Amino acid sequence: NAGVMQNPRHLVRRRGQEARLRCSPMKGHSHVYWYRQLPEEGLKFMVYLQKENIIDESGMPKERFSAEFPKEGPSILRIQQVVRGDSAAYFCASSPRGKGTGTEAFFGQGTRLTVV
């Protein structure tokens, strides 16, 4: 059973371009979380999705950021018109049930976005 798969591992974008980060949850997991981590900082929650639904996007910036988790395929975190401040590591986690049941979330290896 493969773990949470994120790709690409490293992504370089010029200011103003779009970044698309992909996350394939573990098999059988229908709950996905996206977190952002700045160097030497903790992980900051961005968004929580179930299949085809955004449950909580309270951590997402209001502009330029969007996320989806379609019925088929990976979850996508999209950042439009990237700026240097978007440079960070973006982690995806998945769980088989909603977090409310106290279920641990399994993390992927992350995508390191660098905006030049």
Partner 1 sequence: GESVGLHLPTLSVQEGDNSIINCAYSNSASDYFIWYKQESGKGPQFIIDIRSNMDKRQGQRVTVLLNKTVKHLSLQIAATQPGDSAVYFCAETFNTGNQFYFGTGTSLTVIP
- Is residue 51 involved in binding partner 1 (CB under 8 A)? no
Q: What is the DSSP string of 52-79?
A: TEEEE-TTS-SSSEEEE--SSS-EEEEE
Q: How far is CA 109 from the centre of its chain?
A: 11
- Is residue 65 involved in binding partner 1 (CB under 8 A)? no
CA distance 87 to 13: 9
- Is residue 106 involved in binding partner 1 (CB under 8 A)? yes
CA distance 75 to 50: 9
Among 7, 59, 68, 76, binds partner 1 (CB under 8 A): 59
CB of 62 to partner 1, least distance (A): 18
Stretch binding partner 1 (CB under 8 A), from 13-21, 61-69, 72-80, 97-105: 97-105
Give backbone dihedrals phi and psi of 104, rounded to 5 degrees, phi first: -70, 150
- Is residue 22 involved in binding partner 1 (CB under 8 A)? no
Contact positions vs partner 1 (CB under 8 A): 4, 6, 33, 35, 40-45, 48, 55-56, 58-59, 91, 98-100, 102, 104-110
